[in-house]
Every structure is written in structure tokens, then in C-alpha cells.
Amino acid sequence: MKETLKLILRNKLMFITAIAVDIAFFIAYGFYTGPVSSKLISYAALITKELSIIMAKQPTGLLKHLWTPEIRPLTVNLALLIIIFFAITYLIYNIFQGTNWWVITEIAGKKNKYHKYLLGFAKINTIWMAGYVVYKIIDFITAVRYTLVQKIIENTPNTGAKIIFAAALLLGITAFFSYPTLKTGTLFKTPLKKSLPILITAAVFYIAIQILLPQINKINTQATMIIGTALLFIAINFIKIHTTKATENVHTRT
């Protein structure tokens, strides 16, 4: 922790740059994926509505029903929108987050050529993006199935969604740990005495921000957004630097 703070103080301009790139990523992501997301939601709602009618008569075979003549055009359009959505996400994520992580590794003392790091970042993200696509497809099918079941049996526990979320969280943490080294197995190579404190620190930062913001909101509503955004991105990039330092030698251990 102390070493991370020292690195930030020695590289203030680069740290501010990393935060600026992070913020730019979220702005660009919202701007370019927003219209596609709206259409995805609309098509998903239409498919759910049509499926509820069909499955009221034939309550089994959800995937089979997606390709019935009535729903097939909606399913095809949804699939095309999903492909477009993930293509945009992949491109924007690699450009902005690849740049952010390159700056982070520079702050941590690693000397990678920008273009080489970006290529490595894009390459490793083909794996994580594939995992994310699978997660979203399963999540969609589970959500539709749960919505339909709820219409038949109210208050049905959504256990599947919790399991899928836990798997997605593990995927996200594994991807996060891979970026400093650009190696997929970094999380599992990192000793628990190093990885666990990082995860605990991230959780503490998150909880602290959640507790602090409502108190600030009581004093000044406008300040809440500014302070909240600043604290969030400072915390995220602090954790990134801390993770980079913690994982720098894990693949050379014997």
C-alpha cells in the first residue's frame, strides 16, 4: 500500500492521465453502445412477450421456440445486434482500457512499448470477451426462462442468476489480474497472501464510498456526483497499480 502511494506521488501526471483515460472510456462506451443497448432491450422484451404466449400452450423447449416462424425474425435481429454490441465493446475496451493499463504499468515501473502492450491486451481480451459473450447468452436465456416461470409460479427463487453472477465475477477478477502481465493464469499464480488483500482493499474502498456519498449528499447534492466520480476512479486506478506491483514476479516463481 505504501509503495503504491509512493508510486502515485512520484507519477502524479501519469496517474491523472490514467484516470482521464478511464473516464473517457465510460463516456465513449455509453455513447457508442447506448443506441444498440436500447434496441437490444426492445427486442428482448418483444421476444419475451411472444414466448410467454407460446409457452403458455407448450411450457417446454425454450430454445426451440426461439426459432419458430413467429419469433425467428426477432431472434435473428437480436443476434445481429448482439454481434454489433460486442464488436463495439471489444474495440472501445481495447483502445481505452489498453491505454489505461499501459499507463498503469508505466507508473508501476514496467517498460512496455505502447503498441506491443496494446496488441497483447487485445489478444488476451479475445479470451475474456468470449467468456463474457457466453455469460451474456446464458444470462439472457436464464432471465427469459425466469420471467416466464414467474408468470406461472410467483416468488420463484432465481438461483440460476446468482450462480451465473458468481461465475461472471470470477471471470472479471481473473481478467483484471491478467492485465499487468498479459497472462491468463496470473490470478491463480498469485499467492493468496497477495491476491486476497487486493480484493479486500477493493471491497473496503467500495463500501467506504457507498457510506460516504449519502453523507455528502445531505450537505451538497451537486458535489456528490463530482466527489463520487473522483473517489471511484482514484480507487480503481490505485487498485490497478497495487495489483500490477503485487503480480510483477508471479510468473518467475519456482
pLDDT of 254 reads 46
Q: What is the average pLDDT value for the chain, to the nearest integer?
A: 85
**More confident of the two residues 248 and 95:** 95
Q: pLDDT per residue over 24-64, tens digit each?
A: 999 999 999 888 888 888 877 777 777 776 666 665 656 66
* Residue extents of the structural domains in the chain: 2-184
pLDDT of 114 reads 92
Residue (of 237, 241, 233, 247) closest to 107 by Cα position: 241
* pLDDT at residue 161 greater than cutoff 70: yes
**More confident of the two residues 1 and 240:** 240
pLDDT of 120 reads 95
Three state DSSP letters for the chain: CHHHHHHHHHCHHHHHHHHHHHHHHHHHHHHHHHHHHHHHHHHHHHHHHHHHHHHHHCCCCHHHHCCCCCCHHHHHHHHHHHHHHHHHHHHHHHHHHHHHHHHHHHHCCCCCCHHHHHHHHHHHHHHHHHHHHHHHHHHHHHHHHHHHHHHHCCCCCCHHHHHHHHHHHHHHHHHHHHCCCCCCCHHHHCCHHHHHHHHHHHHHHHHHHHHHHHHHHHHCHHHHHHHHHHHHHHHHHHHHHHHHHHCCCHHHCC
* pLDDT at residue 9 greater than cutoff 60: yes
Least confident of 7-16, 40-49, 80-89, 121-130: 40-49
**More confident of the two residues 127 and 133:** 127
**More confident of the two residues 199 and 1:** 199
Q: pLDDT per residue over 89-127, tens digit each?
A: 999 999 999 999 999 999 998 888 999 999 999 999 999
What percent of the chain stands above pLDDT 90? 39
**More confident of the two residues 32 and 145:** 32
Q: Can you give the pTM of this predicted structure?
A: 0.83
